[in-house]
Chain A
Amino acid sequence: MTGLTLGPLLFHWPRAKRRDFYARIANEAPVDCVHLGEVVCSKREPFSAPDLPEIAERLRAGGKQVVLSTLALVTSRREVQAIRESCDAGLLIEANDVSSLRALAGRPHVIGPLLNIFNEDSLAYAARNGAIRIVPPVEVTAAGLRTLLAHAGGMEVEVQVFGRQTLSVSARCYHARSHGLHKDNCRHVCEGEPDGLPVATLDGRSILAVNGTQTMSHGYVVLLREMAALAAWGVHRFRLSPQDVDMVAVARLARATLDRTIDAEAATAAVQSLIGDVPLINGYLHGREGLAWVSRSL
């Protein structure tokens, strides 16, 4: 059966909100794999790390596979040490920085969407290095995905089908900058925007969302209408990236779409009503600019 994954929570949520979120996911969400771990900023980690073992245990008790996602940009000695420790923690790891590939060599691991590993040569290398699953970068097109699947060998391929797409990673914190602060004295202001900080053009079009050091799409990628084709091509798993909406409802809609107990158009409309006035996007998969919405099917 095609799997559903809940990706790592990319936003800095208050501790109680985070605990409640995962309690509900563990008990109610029809996903079989959940990613934990801080991907965006190591300064957030002290807030989530203490609860991680208990949340992981709860998810396992709920029948979910738990994967630990690593930090996307690793620079300080402390961050390097954290990568080593994570990779030795005995969990399945999603590598989001090349440093993790070194630490994980020869052991089963997941290649995250923030690594540029997607062509036949780098895929072959990743598989030899121990990768068992790969999440291609957001830019992948339908044609590229089919070729990638043909070269994935024994690796599972997972595609993000819901949530904001990460468009860039930086050393600079734009959340802090928007408050006239620096990353070093940021006061964790990113906690104030649990779904990202909206960024609009000068003529008022919402276009991006800042999430600390990451910049994301304003629109949510929604590929419910494309999932059946992707599954038929051999995509093994679909990723839902947590947003500040009813993710259990999103997961149920995705599961029902996969199980064909709901029509994909109806599921897409239901997702739109869950997320309010945020636009849907799917341009990259259709070979267009990422922010486009293409209404024809694959």
Chain B
Amino acid sequence: MNGPYLELVCPAGTPAALRAAIAAGADTIYCGFRDATNARNYPGLNFDRDEMASGIAHAHAHGCKVLVAINTFPRPGEAAVWRAAVDDAASFGADAAILADIGMMDYASRRHPTLRLHLSVQAGASNPLALDFYRENFGIRRAVLPRVLEVREIADLVARMQMEAEVFAFGSLGTMAEGRCVLSSYLTGRSPTSDGVCAPAEHVSYEETDGRMSVRLGGVTMNCFSRHEPASYPTPCKARLRVRGIASYIFDEPVGLNAIGILPQLKSAGVTALKIEGRQRSRAYVVQVIRAFRTALDALAAGAPVPPVDLSGVVEGHRETLGAYRKGWR
């Protein structure tokens, strides 16, 4: 197949971001409905039914695909809401639905046999046996791989997984295995897996005492900053905590993933698509990141050197990491 060097899959938190992302060079957009069926269920974000239908039509008119993320796990008794999201994604002509829940995959594969299904990173398939399970039972065509693998392990997995692989290339990402972390609900009652929210803003509070700013989530102190330090968002896996009396970022520093420097390695590993995180980020952010990756991918496709690009201004904490892709991260 003579596809793009790597398919650039870009976030759209709003219809305006969808249009901007397409104009900036996205190959594919992913977005979700305005409810708990998607993992970025934040106020002011996401698409109502009409917006999704017209967003898909707009993308298709510009040669761009749309993947609808229905990538949370319905609580007992709530499956009908998720089924309706699958039905609507199919009827609006989505190019694929990104699913995490086994029940939803079972439903979608039987009810909409022609709808292409992608496996959400939330499904946490980190080995060929798990991927075989999803492919054989539900016809999954592509998996977004969890960020638990080094690049050489991704290559080994892609060679054995019998479906396309999509990996994260840029964004604010947690440290824990996706779909398998409830630290946020432990502190706030609101769940990443079923409510689609991590560290929701309404549970965040700030208090300044003696020139130091305490940042809390659910009333629990996640960090404390002096006046001269930049304050980071109190995501629990990026909290500064005390272990054996010593304060440290025990899980991970407030840093952002940027894999723009290892695109040839990801291509060699057999990866099909790159995912940019950030449906909750501004349109300007989305455009800046997409332009940078578009430029890099076009250069690589042409066999030209990749021009240097500085994304440190938009990366989380203004510090970049290769995360689990780098040996020694674990």
Whole-angstrom distance between the Cβ of B169 and the nearest chain A Cβ? 18
Q: Are A98 and B221 in contact (CB under 8 A)?
A: no
Q: Are A178 and B127 in contact (CB under 8 A)?
A: no
- Known contacts A172-B330, A202-B224: does B107 contact A121 (CB below 8 Å)? yes
Please tell me if A205 contacts chain B, counting CB pairs below 8 Å.
yes
Please tell me if B84 contacts chain A, counting CB pairs below 8 Å.
no
Contact of A205 among B82, B182, B221 (CB under 8 A): B221
Q: Are A75 and B101 in contact (CB under 8 A)?
A: no
Across-interface contacts of B306 in A (CB, < 8 A):
none
- The residue among A137, A182, A184, A202 with the most chain B CB atoms within 10 A of its own CB is A202
Q: Are B148 and A84 in contact (CB under 8 A)?
A: no
Using a Cβ–Cβ cut-off of 8 Å, how many residues does chain B contribute to the interface with A? Answer: 73
Across-interface contacts of B156 in A (CB, < 8 A):
77
Please tell me if A2 contacts chain B, counting CB pairs below 8 Å.
no
Contact of B223 among A80, A121, A202 (CB under 8 A): A202
Whole-angstrom distance between the Cβ of B160 and the nearest chain A Cβ? 9
How does the 8 Å CB contact mask read for B179-197 relative to A, with 1 for contact and 0 for none?
1111101111101011000
CA of A119 to CA of B83, assembled, Å: 12
Whole-angstrom distance between the Cβ of A85 and the nearest chain B Cβ? 12
- The residue among B129, B191, B237, B324 with the most chain A CB atoms within 10 A of its own CB is B129
Whole-angstrom distance between the Cβ of B149 and the nearest chain A Cβ? 6
Contact of A73 among B133, B148, B221, B241 (CB under 8 A): B148
How does the 8 Å CB contact mask read for B72-106 relative to A, with 1 for contact and 0 for none?
01111111001100000000000000001111101
Q: Are A118 and B189 in contact (CB under 8 A)?
A: no
- Known contacts A75-B149, A125-B103, A168-B176: does B181 contact A102 (CB below 8 Å)? no
Please tell me if A122 contacts chain B, counting CB pairs below 8 Å.
yes
- Known contacts A144-B77, A147-B76, A205-B220: does B153 contact A98 (CB below 8 Å)? no
Within 8 A of B (CB), among A136-151: 137-141, 144-145, 147-148, 151
Q: Are A138 and B182 in contact (CB under 8 A)?
A: yes
Whole-angstrom distance between the Cβ of B318 and the nearest chain A Cβ? 22
Please tell me if A120 contacts chain B, counting CB pairs below 8 Å.
yes
Contact of A102 among B130, B177, B242, B248 (CB under 8 A): B130
Q: Are A177 and B103 in contact (CB under 8 A)?
A: no
Whole-angstrom distance between the Cβ of B125 and the nearest chain A Cβ? 6
Q: Are B251 and A174 in contact (CB under 8 A)?
A: yes
How does the 8 Å CB contact mask read for B287-330 relative to A, with 1 for contact and 0 for none?
00000000000000000000000000000000000001000111
- Known contacts A139-B194, A184-B328: does B129 contact A120 (CB below 8 Å)? no
Whole-angstrom distance between the Cβ of B126 and the nearest chain A Cβ? 5
CA of A288 to CA of B186, assembled, Å: 8
Query: Which single residue of chain B is at the shortest CB-CB distance from A204?
Result: B242
Contact of B106 among A121, A168, A208, A284 (CB under 8 A): A121
CA of A118 to CA of B126, assembled, Å: 21
Q: Are B189 and A99 in contact (CB under 8 A)?
A: no
How does the 8 Å CB contact mask read for A132-175 relative to B, with 1 for contact and 0 for none?
00000111110011011001000000000000010111111110
Q: Are B129 and A125 in contact (CB under 8 A)?
A: no
CA of A114 to CA of B76, assembled, Å: 16
Q: Are B329 and A172 in contact (CB under 8 A)?
A: yes
Whole-angstrom distance between the Cβ of B213 and the nearest chain A Cβ? 12
Total number of A-B contacts with CB less than 8 angstroms? 223
Across-interface contacts of A205 in B (CB, < 8 A):
220-221
Q: Are A199 and B214 in contact (CB under 8 A)?
A: no
CA of A144 to CA of B242, assembled, Å: 35
Across-interface contacts of B240 in A (CB, < 8 A):
202
Q: Are B180 and A169 in contact (CB under 8 A)?
A: yes
- Known contacts A98-B133, A203-B214: does B77 contact A75 (CB below 8 Å)? no
Please tell me if A124 contacts chain B, counting CB pairs below 8 Å.
yes
Whole-angstrom distance between the Cβ of A292 and the nearest chain B Cβ? 8
Q: Are B242 and A201 in contact (CB under 8 A)?
A: yes
Within 8 A of A (CB), among B60-80: 73-79
CA of A113 to CA of B186, assembled, Å: 16
CA of A116 to CA of B244, assembled, Å: 33
Across-interface contacts of B106 in A (CB, < 8 A):
121-122, 124-125
Q: Are B330 and A283 in contact (CB under 8 A)?
A: no
Q: Are B179 and A116 in contact (CB under 8 A)?
A: yes
Whole-angstrom distance between the Cβ of A178 and the nearest chain B Cβ? 5
Across-interface contacts of B242 in A (CB, < 8 A):
199-202, 204
- Known contacts A167-B186, A183-B330, A184-B328: does B74 contact A119 (CB below 8 Å)? yes
Other A-B pairs beyond A98-B123, A203-B214, 12, CB < 8 Å? A75-B149, A97-B126, A118-B75, A122-B104, A147-B75, A167-B186, A172-B251, A198-B243, A199-B241, A199-B242, A217-B186, A290-B187
Chain B residues engaging chain A, CB cutoff 8 angstroms: 73-79, 82-83, 100-104, 106-107, 122-130, 132-134, 136, 147-149, 153, 156, 175-177, 179-183, 185-189, 191, 193-194, 214, 218, 220-224, 237, 239-244, 247-248, 250-252, 324, 328-330
A-B contact pairs, 9 of them (CB 8 A): A120-B79, A121-B106, A137-B182, A148-B76, A168-B180, A170-B177, A172-B252, A178-B243, A289-B188
Chain A residues engaging chain B, CB cutoff 8 angstroms: 72-77, 79-80, 83-84, 97-99, 101-103, 105, 114, 116-126, 137-141, 144-145, 147-148, 151, 165, 167-174, 177-178, 182-184, 197-205, 207-208, 210, 215, 217, 283-284, 287-291
Query: What 8 A-B pairs come out closest when comparing CB atoms?
Result: A121-B103, A171-B148, A122-B103, A99-B129, A102-B133, A147-B76, A290-B186, A168-B181
